A and B are shown apart, each in its own frame.
Chain A
Amino acid sequence: GAVVSQHPSRVICKSGTSVKIECRSLDFQATTMFWYRQFPKQSLMLMATSNEGSKATYEQGVEKDKFLINHASLTLSTLTVTSAHPEDSSFYICSAPRGQGAGNTEAFFGQGTRLTVV
């Protein structure tokens, strides 16, 4: 089946540094990828929609300058948490839908990245 690979799975960084998280679709092309954030014991919150070849679309309340998204190719999207602070510590998950539109779509998830900012 289709696989989405997310890297790294865990990262610890110092306050003020930037962290890049990669999301790759391994056996299909994804013109769109989604980035989610999950707080402890809470559901997943959609942060942004990553669009290949154009700017990402951010959900309300998500700082685009803090969470930089680059969708450089049809198989790779990156999320960079800039100037990270302890409150950015969270579990970040990417997903990529396969298919055109909701009529023929399955969504595949990366393994998630546990970010801890100290």
Chain B
Amino acid sequence: GEDVEQSLFLSVREGDSSVINCTYTDSSSTYLYWYKQEPGAGLQLLTYIFSNMDMKQDQRLTVLLNKKDKHLSLRIADTQTGDSAIYFCAEISDTDKLIFGTGTRLQVFP
């Protein structure tokens, strides 16, 4: 069945880069997404990548996709304390359902 996995926690120092990893199972997903959820808030779409791309860069964010290994990563350059949140990767099924990963809690310390 469909399954999306992420590591649960990541702790980085302010100014360093953060890399959040995700593995998925549905090879037919045409879009893969990264969402950010701040405490007590809804989901904010950060970025997404088409399945025919290997990389997408958007300011401090870099998404890498290894379709062969079904591996997706989100790199945040120059991580700031405001980046502390839970990050969800998600794939979209052929019926438009989003399948979410377990979420990675990013903690940025000074």
By a CB distance below 8 angstroms, the chain A residues around B45 are: 106-109
When each residue 75-92 of chain A gets 1 if its CB lies under 8 Å from chain B and 0 otherwise, what string results? 000000000000000000
Are A102 and B94 in contact, CB atoms less than 8 angstroms apart? yes
- Closest B-chain residue to A6, C-beta based? B42
Residue B92 interfacial (CB < 8 Å): yes
> For chains A and B in complex, what number of residue pairs have CB atoms within 8 angstroms?
62
Segment with Cβ contacts to A, from B53-61, B70-78, B97-105? B97-105
Main secondary structure on A side of the interface with B? strand
Number of A residues, CB within 8 Å of B: 23
B42-A102 in contact (CB<8A): no
Partner of B96, one of A105, A108, A111: A105
Chain A neighbourhood of B94, CB < 8 A: 101-102
Please pick, from A34, A103, A110, the residue contacting B42 in the complex, using a CB distance under 8 A: A110
Contact of B88 with A34 in the complex, beta carbons under 8 Å: no
* CA–CA, A76 and B44, complex, Å: 21
What is the CB-to-nearest-CB distance from A95 to chain B, in angstroms, rounded to a whole number? Answer: 7
B30 touches A (CB below 8 Å): yes
B41–A34 touching, CB < 8 Å: no
Q: Which residues of A contact B40 (CB under 8 A)?
A: 114
Contact B41 A102 (CB under 8 A): no
Question: Which A-chain residue is minimally distant from B48 (CB atoms)?
Answer: A106
Q: Are B98 and A95 in contact (CB under 8 A)?
A: yes
Task: List residues of B whose CB falls within 8 A of some A CB.
Answer: 28-31, 33, 35, 40-45, 48, 88, 92-103
Could you list which residues of chain A lie within 8 angstroms of chain B, going by C-beta atoms? 6, 32, 34, 42-44, 46, 49, 93, 95, 97, 101-103, 105-112, 114
Q: List 28 A-B contacts (CB under 8 A).
A: A6-B42, A34-B98, A42-B103, A43-B102, A44-B100, A46-B97, A46-B99, A93-B43, A97-B92, A97-B96, A101-B94, A102-B28, A102-B31, A102-B93, A102-B94, A102-B95, A102-B96, A103-B30, A105-B31, A105-B92, A106-B45, A107-B33, A107-B96, A109-B35, A109-B43, A109-B44, A110-B42, A111-B41
